[in-house]
Each structure stands twice: as structure tokens, then as C-alpha cells.
Structure 1
Amino acid sequence: MVKSMSVLIIGSVSNDVLRLQKYFHRIDIKNVHCFTTTEAAMNYLLDDLKEDLDLVILDAKLTLKNCEEICQQIAELQSWIDAPILLSTTYEKSITIDRVFEAGIFDFILKPFDFTHFKTRIQVALKYRGEAKLRKQQESSIQKDLFIAKKFQKNALSPALNLKHIQIDGLYVTSNTLGGDMYSWFKINDDLTAVLLYDAMGHGIAASLVTMSIKSLLRGIITRLIDPVAVIHELNHQIYELFSDEDMDRFLMTAIYILIDTKNGTLHYVNAAHPSGFLYGKYGETVFLPANTPILGLFPTIQINKKTIPLSGWHRIILYTDGLLTLNEEQVIDLDFFHSYASQDNTYALQKFSQKYDLFENEYSDDITVVSVTITLQGR
């Protein structure tokens, strides 16, 4: 036994409590706290001492009459401390035994006391406690790593872009796990600007690794190939090749890529199984940017379809991932909201949108990502 072990005994029968205390001393556990009631222990045991406790022994006579009272004490202890609770008692009725197990005790120490039985039950409980502590430490370490990974992934998102005719910004709400959403945009030259929003299927570390792997390739792919058909073809090739190992599950990705040509007043896009984008005009007209190409990563080659839309004057493009569609089953997301903020810049409109739906006030099972692009072509 480890000398730093610490236990709490709660019991009103002094002889039984004294016997338990002596038994703990015999197995080299000297740090024993004794209280006559649960309330006294919870009121007077300091928080720093409570955190060191490895076991709780509740000494009580268990009968049908007082069973629910004892179960209430067990519930109070469970809400107060995360340590195994052992009930020191005599067997009465099987119904009471089942009830206290349902209430949350870990094990029994039977009366009349037998040292060998006592030692065995304590060793089992302490082993469980040690394993539980180790799991908790590992989970804490994993949570810290996930927090860093989330921050790293968020920092990889493109910052707001403000050009003469184009302004772009994004809204990214992280889920309670790592996700697969990512957006990037690039000023290719004075006339061409590219925007890509993609979503790796699934959640967790695997989806995040797929996302970041593709992110590292984007600048080279987009600035070199530029055209939507060529870019999506290369993305599909990279995803298929990177994650085609026979020992790995196939990773799939949805994506929408738009190329804005301010010189010729055109928008070219490919939507690979991604939620439909929206192109709003100055007077409320809306053009949808629906899926026109299969999902990426499933086949080595796919049929890619590009669509071209003329641009003139003011436009706002809204792109988003499917996390927005599952935000709230009882609440319909109104994307026309962004047209009502036509006179405001992207950042302000996204901020008001997040406030309207309390996006940063809740936890979600999927990332929520929205990209807003404002185009102003003077003289057109």
C-alpha cells in the first residue's frame, strides 16, 4: 500500500469506526478522517483534503426501513466527491443490497469484521481508484491536446480579405470535438480571386488531420491551376491518393470553389456535393449555387461540372457547411438575413448573424462555418 493513501470513515458506532481505523493502520494507511455524519464530513473536511481522499467508508446498519435514507447519503457523497464508496454493514435483505448498489456504492465490507475480507475489498477498491485517476489524467491530457489542435486549426483559417472590388470574411464556430471544416481564399492577381470552403466527412482527430493535410496543399494547387475544374480535379486526386491505404477508411470531402473575375465580371464555380451557396443581388434577386459535381475522394476520377454566372454591380455570396443546417431542429436558419445587412461589411453581418442564433453560446456536435463574400463592380 502507498502511505499517501487517504480515506474517510463516516459512522456513528464508535467501536465499529475504531475497528475500521485500526484495520487501515494495519495495511499502512494512516491518514484516516472520521466523522459521525455525512453532513459533518462535507462541512468540515477542507477542499484540499477532500481532493486527496481515495476511499469513503459509510458505516451503517442497513434495513428496509432506513434503506432510502442511506441511499440519499450515498447520493450526497457521490455529488461531493469522486471516490469509491464502500458500505460497512451486515446483510439484511437482497432488496436492500440491490438498492444501495443502484444508488452507487462500489462494494461492501461485511460485519462481523474479518481482516482478510476487509483487506481484499480495500485492495480492489484502491486498484479501481488508481485506474480511474490514471484515466482522468489521460483524459485531461487529451483535452488539452484537443484544445491546442482546435486553436491551431482555427489559426489556419484565412483572415479577412479587403480588396478594391472584393471583401471576404468567415465565421467559424468549433464543435465539442475536432472537426473537418476549413475555408481559404487567395488573391491570384489584380483580376482573379479564389475562394474555397470544404468539409471533411466525419468528426474528431481523423477529420481534422484530413482537413489540415489538404490545407497545406491549397496555395500551391489554387495559385498554380486557378481554374475550378482543374483545382477540383487535383483536390479529388490528392484526397484519393493520400487516404487510399487499404488499412484506412476512405475519407470523403465536400467542397465549393468559386473563382471571381472582376475584369470580365464573371463568377465560375464548382460545387462538389456541398450545401448550395447563395448569390444575392442588389435588389434582392437570389441565384443558387447548387451541387453539380460528385463528392471528393470516392473515385480516382470524377465528372466535374463548372458553371459561370455574370456579375454586375453589388453582390453578396454566402457559403456554409452542413453544421449550420443541423444547428437547431426547431429553428429555421434564415440566410436571407445577410441581404438585409447589404449596407454593412461582411464582418459586421457575420457578427450579427452569430448573435441572432447565439452561435457562440452553445456546444455543437459539428463545426459551423459561414463565409461571406461581397463584390462591388463599379460601372457594371
Structure 2
Amino acid sequence: MSILIVDDNPTNIIIIREILKKENYRDVVAASSAMEMFDVLGIGEERGEIRSKPSDIDLILLDMMMPEIDGIEACRIMQKYDNLKDIPIIMVTAIGDSKKLAEALDAGASDYVTKPINKVELMARIRLALRLKQEKDWHKERDQRIQDELKLAAMVQNAVLSPAIEDPLFHVNAIYKPSFELAGDLYSWYPLGEGRYGVLLLDMMGHGISSSLFTMFIASVLKDTVTTYVDPEKVIQELNRRFNQLHLEKQLVQYYFTAIYLVVDTRMKRIDYVNAGHPPALFFQEDGTVDTFDSVCCPVGLFDKMEIDPQTVHYEGEGHIALYTDGLLETVQGDQDTQLEFLKTRLKGAHQWDEPAMQSLFFETEAPPERDDDKCLVWITLKNKGAETE
């Protein structure tokens, strides 16, 4: 443990150093002024800017009354630095003014002792301050480890998201912006052969670690489910069965997710889909009409059995489909009808994917804090046969 003594009186420094030495605190540094203390801590003035470097001081015994910069002002300056403000400061003072002592504590000091120094009292306060510092450092290190693990988990979660596809008749792209390190949205797509593609977008209830774990569970079974069952109704039924196998009866919170899964057959110009409580997808056709793929059943995971009414849409020529999660709607003020009309207006037009435009429109704007949510947009471009020879 490294202790810094700051006092403009050399005699006081000698007395305190000897007290510490007898208690086996031998890593002791001394400074005769606040400016000298700043040099020890790595604070200095350069071109009018204050700089700071990491400090290895664990405790400061700081005289309150010093010339130029007193102890209270020195405390205030230290509070400007993240790497210094957690160092415990014990004020050493001959002043018994309660207002001054309160001012010192408000400025950042953690405790105080009065002169003449009582050795027993001083050591008790030092041991308490160092014990609290150790506990705080332990929590900071633990929090940092958790943050590092969350970042790694976020990288793993991001790795399961499907990359873009640009086949002659079918393109699919996405933008995803989680509201936290880990999120509950998941998009995925799979070529199914013979010009067919399965595309799924889901939104898990809640945020953070719990939701992301459920999302990763679905991601782990998704490919096998889609490639085995293919049909939208069967895929959603199987995901519901798998999700309910987690046996969460004792949980106070009922977890579930909304999802939209569709199979695009580019040869037959046909789209089969199931919307399980998800915001309606928008299908912009070549003739200018806009179809909505509305909800046809309840979210996945609420009940053991699901009543599903799969839907089919036929199309001609080119077009594009926009799938999105609630977070995208929440970037628009108003009720759901207003939000939906806004999306229809802004997403119509060219069928080709324009990522910079979508970034600017939906992902560079901030939703109100109480409505912050994961944002995801999936864009499917359907090409006609003439595009194969372009």
C-alpha cells in the first residue's frame, strides 16, 4: 500500500511518517504542497490544459491549510480525473470548524483527523480507508472483467447473424443496432434449394443478458429447424416446441419472442409466411402496391400449442420486402398507424438496398430514453429474370 503525505510543515511529515513506519507502512511518499502532490499524481499544466497519468497511490493524508492551493481546492481538482477520484483522502487539520470540515468532505475527502495527531485514531482511519479502497478496487476489477466478457459475448452473438446474400434473383441485407452490449433481436436466412430462401427475424422480450441467452438458444436450433421443416407453419411450431422445452415454470417473468418467418420462392414468384405477433412486414411490389404481412398468430413461447394460419402472396416483376423490429418503429413519433405510414412512405421507391440512406434515416437518430430498443432492418430485394443477364 502506497501512502502520500501532503503537508507544508516538514515536522508534520516526519511525525506521520514515523507513525506509519512503526505500523509497517513503509511505502510512503511526501509532498510539501498541492502542486508537488499533483506532480506525484501525474497532474500538470501544459498549454492551459490539465493532463493526467495513472497513479499508484492508494491513500492521501492531506493538510487542509496550505499556501497557494489549500487541501479543499486540491480535492476538487482531483475529482476531475477518473483515475484519481477514487483515491481516499484523509484531511489532516487543526481547524475544528464543522463548516470547513463539511466543505472538505463535499469536495471529495473521505475522512479527517485533527491536530495534534492521535496515533490510534489516525491508524484506525487509515485502515478503514484502505479496506474500503481494496473493496472498491475489487468491484472495479470484477466489473471490468464482466464488461470484457460481455464484449466477447456480443462478438459471438454478432457472428451468428447471417451475412448478406446477392444471388441473381434474390438479395438480402440488414442493419442491426443493439441498445445494450447484448441484445434480443436475431435475423437469419438460408438457401433452401431450387430458388427458395428462408428468412427469419425475431425479437425476444426484454433486453440484456437474459434475453440474449434465449436468443442464442434459438440461434443454436434455427438452422436445423429451418432446413428440416422448411414450411413456415412447421418451423414456427417447432421453434415454439423447442422454446417451451427450456422449462421455465418457476420464472416470475414469462419469456417469449415475436417472429416473422417467410419462404421466398423466386422461381414460382411466391412468398409463404407466418407472422407470430411481430410488426407487419412491408412488401413493395413493382406496380406500386404495398402489401402488409400482418400478424396471424400469437408470439412464440406463450403457449404449448399455437394456432397458426400461414399466408401466401404471389408477385410479378421486381420488388422489395422490409422486415423490422419494434425499435425501428420507435424512432418515429406517434401511434402505430402513424409509424407504419411513415415506414411505407420512406421505404418505397427503388428496390435496391441503400445502406447509407437507411443508416441516416433510422440508425443515426436517437429514440427517447424511455423508448430505447434494439433496432433491426432486413431488406429483401426480389429481381426479375432479366436481371440474371445484366
The answer to whether the superposition gives a TM-score over 0.5 is yes
Q: Which moved more, 1:120-129 or 1:100-109?
A: 100-109
Cα distance between partner residues in 2 of 1:235 and 1:31 = 62
Cα offset, 1:257, TM superposition: 0.9
Aligned position for 1:312:
316
Percent identity between the aligned chains? 29
Q: Using the TM superposition, give the Cα deviation of residue 15 of structure 1 relative to its aligned residue in structure 2, in angstroms.
A: 2.6
The question of whether the paired residues in 2 share the 8 Å contact of 1:173 and 1:359 is answered with no
Question: 1:235·1:296 contact (CA, 8 Å) conserved in 2?
Answer: yes
1:297 aligns with 2:298: no
Are 2:182 and 1:178 aligned? yes
Question: For structure 2, which runs of at least 5 residues remain unmatched after alignment?
Answer: 44-51
Cα pair 2:184 2:205 within 8 Å, conserved: yes
Asked if residue 20 in structure 1 is aligned to residue 16 in structure 2, the reply is yes
Q: Contact 1:324/1:368 (CA < 8 Å) preserved in 2?
A: yes
- More displaced, 238-247 or 162-171? 238-247
Work out the CA distance in 1 between the residues paired with 2:94 and 2:378. 66
- Listed as ranges, the matches of 1:264-279 within 5 Å are 264-279=268-283
The yes-or-no answer on 1:29 pairing with 2:29 is: no
Q: Taking structure 2 as the reference length, what is the TM-score of the superposition?
A: 0.84
Residues 33 and 328 of structure 1, relative CA distance in 2, 3 Å threshold: farther
Distance 1:284 1:30, change over 3 A: farther
Q: Provide closer, same or farther for how the CA distance between residues 174 and 15 of structure 1 changes in structure 2, counting only shifts above 3 A.
A: same
Q: What does the per-residue CA deviation read over 1:81-127, in whole Å, with 9 as the maximum and x for residues that have no partner?
A: 13112211245343333333333221112322111111111111111
Report the equivalent of 2:359. 354
Contact 1:279–1:317 (CA under 8 A) maintained in structure 2: yes
Give the total of aligned pairs.
Answer: 365
Does the Cα contact within 8 Å between 2:331 and 2:365 map onto a contact in 1? Answer: no
SS of structure 2 residue aligned to 1:79: coil
The alpha carbon displacement at 1:130 in A equals 0.9
Alignment root-mean-square deviation, CA: 3.0
Contact 2:205 2:255 in 1 (8 A): yes
Instruction: Output aligned runs, 1:227-238, within 5 Å.
Output: 227-238=231-242
- Distance (whole Å) between structure 2 residues aligned to residue 71 and residue 378 of structure 1: 77
1:221 aligned to 222, 225, 237, which one? 225
| Gapped regions of structure 1 (runs ≥ 5) | none
| Offset from partner CA, 1:174-217 (integer Å, 9 cap, x none) | 33321111111111121321100012111222111111111111
Q: How does 1:1-380 map to 2 (within 5 A)?
A: 5-46=1-42, 50-61=54-65, 70-80=71-81, 81=84, 82-90=86-94, 92-247=96-251, 249-327=253-331, 335=343, 336-342=345-351, 344=352, 346=353, 349-357=354-362, 359=364, 366-378=373-385
- In structure 2, C-alpha distance between the alignment counterparts of 1:326 and 1:9, rounded to whole Å: 55
| 8 Å contact from structure 2 (residues 363, 375) kept in 1 | no
Aligned amino acid, residue 368 of structure 1: K
Q: Partners of 2:304 and 2:183 in 1: how far apart?
A: 25
